[in-house]
Amino acid sequence: MLEVRNMDVGYYRDLNILSSLNLDVKPGQIFTILGANGVGKSTSLKAIYGFLRPNGGTIHLNGQPLIDVPTHERINLGLAYIPQHPGIFREMTVEENLLLGAWTFRRDKARIAEKLDEQYSRFPVLKEKRRQPSGQLSGGQQRMIEIGRTLMGNPKVLLVDEPTAGLSKTYAEEVYQMLRDLRDRDNLGILLVDQEIRHALRIADYVYVLELGRNKFEGPPSEFGDLQKAFWVG
């Protein structure tokens, strides 16, 4: 579904953070990118989504080249991005935040109502609190808002950056369960960047490990027992 080949990315043209990166994301599976801080994990997501233009290589979604496609059009093609830091509007209600996810089809009232019902079915607690300011909800529920808003656009591939950063263990587990549900129930392809190595390996179907901005290892989580020990601290 998503194919990245030989991608070079940097914030300056003559200084690449990522070099010859190769990634694949398939439907109904979670692919996770692991590696030390600064190797370019989050940068890879930003480049795939269009926030950074690669200095070299190709990105294809369902066979369509993406390099020259603006970010807002990548959304319509089925690509979505959930950043590390929550981007909800705390003063706006839960429902108002969700409706922002329908901006690309904002004149289609029937479709908006259908997608809103889907999110309330997926996250019943959001329906209960739909008139409340989003800032009053828990950290885990705010992540639900952000994921629900993203799903309003009916994506096929989710790029997810550090989804549990700053959350308690309880709320973090809720987020990981949400990702599993999106994979299993909605057949989404998910590309996950996460510093929580043990949790990422627990939910992943396939793992990429980066070192110095390049592919170092890849394979199913079962092949990464020794690697887990190398990453764990404490």
Which among 104, 135, 164 is the end of a domain? 164
Instruction: Indicate whether 3 and 89 sit together in one domain.
Output: no
The predicted-structure confidence for 58-88, as pLDDT tens digits, reads as follows: 999 999 999 999 998 998 899 999 988 768 8
Instruction: Indicate whether 62 and 80 sit together in one domain.
Output: no
Q: What is the pLDDT of residue 234?
A: 33
Instruction: Indicate whether 113 and 62 sit together in one domain.
Output: no
93 DSSP assignment: B
Please name the residues in contact with 120: beta carbons below 8 A apart, sequence gap of 6 or more.
Answer: 126, 127, 130
Which among 134, 164, 194 is the end of a domain? 164
pLDDT tops 90 at residue 8: yes
Q: Look at residue 199 and tell me if it is in a domain.
A: no
Domain of 16 in residue numbering reads as 1-24+53-69
The pTM assigned to this predicted structure is 0.88
Residues 178 and 142 sit within 8 Å (Cβ to Cβ)? no
Per the prediction, the chain carries an average pLDDT of: 90
Q: What is the pLDDT of residue 172?
A: 84
* Angle separating helix axes 139-151 and 169-186, nearest 10 degrees: 20
